[in-house]
Amino acid sequence: MYSEQALRTAIATTQAVATHTTASHIST
């Protein structure tokens, strides 16, 4: 079972990667 801290970290990481990927596609 994940702790709330671990879950928040995973979500933040996923969002950061998604934002970076989206920005890369837009800038291309």
Confidence of residue 21 (pLDDT cuts 50, 70, 90): confident
- How far is Cα 14 from Cα 22, in angstroms, rounded to an integer? 12
Reported pTM? 0.57
Is pLDDT of 3 > 80?
Answer: yes
CA distances for 4 relative to 14, 16, 17, angstroms: 15, 18, 20
Residue 10 belongs to what domain range?
Answer: 1-28
Domains held by the chain: number:
1
Q: Which amino acid makes up residue 14?
A: T
Q: What is the pLDDT, as a whole number, of residue 7?
A: 93
Q: Which amino acid makes up residue 11?
A: I
Query: Tens digit of pLDDT for each residue in 5-14?
Result: 999 999 999 9
Report the C-alpha dihedral over residues 8, 12, 15, 16, rounded to 10 degrees: -170
